[in-house]
Each structure stands twice: as structure tokens, then as C-alpha cells.
Structure 1
Amino acid sequence: MKTTILLLTLFISSFGFSQNDKSNTITIKGIIFSEVDGKPLENAYINYTSKYKYSMTNENGKFEYKYLNNKEDLKEKIEISALGYENYDTIIDLNKDNIIDLFVVLKTRFGLNRQKALEDIEQGEINILLSGGIAPVIYNGDKKFCKKYQVNFIEYGCEAISERSLIEYNKTVFEYLDAKFGKKWREEIRDDVSGL
């Protein structure tokens, strides 16, 4: 009989604690999007600073993180970052809701997108962007190509640039070059240009 009462007491206690833990569980979830094309952004990094924890977005741009909130936790600072994008920071009130949904659009570094390409073209700056390494790579035919088609190759070197933004920018420039010179320039351009 004592064993039954002890087991029943332990069961009720653990049930009470689990109910209490459930009510103190905070779920932070959301979707991160790219400013470039409005599509979800995979492998964005979400840092929960007060907990020294982090998570990443999946292939659908989604993330979720759960932890127990204690009475000392009033706010949570979240830092979101992704390669080639500007960081996004926000502070969340943890005492407001048990489920917090975030929908964040990350802006690209250097503002590289279709609009920027159109502005550059209008100003007579016809640039083709390259994603490179530490030292710029220059091929023998680059100078001749640039002079013939009145363009500049711009290499960002080890600067982190979003591949999506490079492609969108370059595709806009390619449309301009197609309209002005036809498609023959495509046979002469270097092979490592993003977006071809």
C-alpha cells in the first residue's frame, strides 16, 4: 500500500511539474526571406544571445527553438545573419506569448539587386560582378572584352556577397547587353561569371 501511495504521489508530482514546465516553454519560430527574390533563405543563422544557443533555417527558410523560461528571463535578443546579407537584430518580450512567430526579410550587403543594376546602367556604369577569392583573377581577354562592350568587371574578393544578389544584378546587366549587342558577347565573356 505504501508503495502504491508513493508511486501515485510521484506520478502526480511529475505530472504537475511537467504541466508547469509546459506553461514556461517559450517557442520562437519563423521564416527568413531573401530581399533579392522574396524566397525563403536556407542556412540563415539565428543566435539567442541570453541562452548562448543558436539554430539555423532549413531548406524552406524555417527555424524553431524551444527553451524553458525562468522568471529572470524578461527579454531575449535574437541576432539573425546569413552569408552576403546584413545582420538583423531584434529583442523579444518573453512574457508576452508562449509562441513567438518571426517573419524577417534580410537585406543584401551593398544593396546589390535588380534595382541597383538598373540605376548603375542608367548612370552609364555597366558592371559585371564576380565572386572571387582573396586576390582578383584577371584573364588575358578581360581588358579587350571590357573595352569592346563598355563594361567593368567588379570582383568582391573575400567580401561575403549573396550569390542570389550577384545573379540578379548580373542578369539585369545581361539583358542590357543582349539588347545593345545581341548575344555574341556571351561567347566572349569569361566562364566564371555568376548568372550565365
Structure 2
Amino acid sequence: MKTAISLLIILISSLGFSQNDKSDTITIKGIIFSEVDGKPLGNAYINYTSKYKYSMTNENGKFEYKYLKKKKDLNEKIEISALGYEKYDTIIDLNKDDIIDLFVVLKTRFGLNRQKALEDINQGEINILLSGGIAPVIYKGDKKFTKKYQVNFIEYGCEAISERSLIEYNQTVFEYLDKKFGEKWRKEIRDDVSGL
């Protein structure tokens, strides 16, 4: 009988604690999008600064985090980042709702997109962007290609560039080259150019 009463007391106590824990838990969730194509952005990091905790978006750009709130917590600074995108910071009020939905569009670093490519073309700067490592890679035929088609190869080296923005920028330049030179340039360009 003592064992049954002890188990009942433990069960009631744990239910009481779990209810308190539930009221102190806030669900922070959302979807992160890329400004390049408006599609969800996988592998974006969400940093909850006061907790030193992270979560990450899935392939659909979604994330969810159960935030255990302490009594003194009033708000939380959240930093969202992804490779090749500008960091986004926001502060959320922890006393407002039990579920907080965030919908964020991340901007690309360097503003590389279709619009930037069109602006560069209009200014006579015909650039083909390369994503590389620390040391730039230069091929034997690069000098001949750039002179013949009046383009520049720009390599960002170890700077993180969004692959989506790189492709969108380059594809806009490729449309320009197709109109000006036909498609013969495609057989002469180096193989490691994104967006071909």
C-alpha cells in the first residue's frame, strides 16, 4: 500500500512539474526564404543568443525550437544566417505568445542577383562570377576568352557567395552573351562556371 501511495505522489508531482514546464516552454518556429528566387532556404542557422543554442532549417526552410523560458527572460535575440546571405537579427518578446512564428527573407551578400547583373551589363561591366577557394584558378584559355567576348571572370575566393545568387547572376549574363554572340561562346567557356 505504501508503494502504491508513493507512486501516486510521484505521479501527481511529475504531472505538476510537467504542467509548469509546459507553461514555461515557448515554441519558436518559422520558415526562412531566399530573396533570389523566393524559395525556402535549407541549412540556415538560427542562433538563440542568450541560450547559446542553435537550430537549423530543414530542406523546406522550416525550423522549430522549444525554448525553455526562465522567469527573468523578457525577450530573446535571434540571429539567422546562411552561407552567402546577410545575417538577419530580430528580438522576440517571450511574454507575448506561447508560439512564435517567424517568416524571414534573407538577402544575398553583395546583392548578387538578376537585377545587379542587368545593372552591370548596362554599365558595360560584363562579368561572369566564379565560386572558388583561397587561390584563384586561372586556365590557359581564360585570357583569350575574356578578350574575345569582352567579359571579366570575377572570383570571390573564400568569400561565401550564395550558389543561387551566383547562378541567377551568371544566367542573366549568359542571356546577354547569347543575344550578342549566339551560342558559340558556350563551347569555349571554362567548365567550372556556375549556371551553365
TM-score (norm 2): 0.97
The Cα of 1:140 is off from its aligned counterpart by 1.5
Q: Indicate whether 1:161 and 2:170 are aligned.
A: no
Gapped runs of 5+ residues in structure 2? Answer: none
Summarize deviations over 1:108-146 as a string: whole Å, max 9, x none.
000000000011111111100001111111111111111
Answering whether residue 84 of structure 2 is matched by residue 84 of structure 1, we say: yes
Corresponding position of 1:187: 187
Mapped to 1, the partners of 2:148 and 2:155 lie a distance apart of 19
* 1:1-196 map, 5 Å: 1-196=1-196
Whole-angstrom CA distance in 1 between matches of 2:72 and 2:119 = 50
What is the alpha-carbon distance in structure 1 between the residues aligned to residue 11 and residue 146 of structure 2?
77
Q: Matched residue of 2:78: which SS?
A: strand
Q: Which moved more, 1:147-156 or 1:8-17?
A: 8-17
Percent of residue pairs bearing the same amino acid type? 89
CA distance in 2, matches of 1:118, 1:48: 38
- For residues 3 and 166 of structure 2, what CA distance do their matches in structure 1 show? 70
Cα distance in 1, alignment partners of residues 15 and 132 from structure 2: 58
Q: Which whole-Å CA distance do the structure 2 matches of 1:135 and 1:8 have between them?
A: 68
SS in structure 1 at match of 2:195? coil
Q: Using the alignment, how far apart are the partners of 1:190 and 1:104 within structure 2?
A: 36
Q: Secondary structure at the match of 1:60?
A: coil
Letter in structure 2 aligned against 1:147: K
Q: Distance in 2 between matches of 1:28 and 1:150?
A: 50
How far apart, in 2, do the equivalents of 1:141 and 1:63 lie?
45
Q: How many residues are paired up?
A: 196
Q: TM-score, normalised by structure 1?
A: 0.97
| SS of corresponding position for 1:8 | helix
**Cα distance in 1 for residues equivalent to 2:3 and 2:82:** 56
Q: CA deviation at 1:190?
A: 0.6
SS at match of 1:96: coil
Question: 2:99 & 2:31 partners in 1: Cα distance?
Answer: 14
- Bigger shift: 10-19 or 86-95? 10-19
Distance 2:183 2:155 in 1: 23
How far residue 10 of structure 1 moved from its aligned partner, in angstroms, is 2.3
Give the unaligned 5+ runs of structure 1.
Answer: none
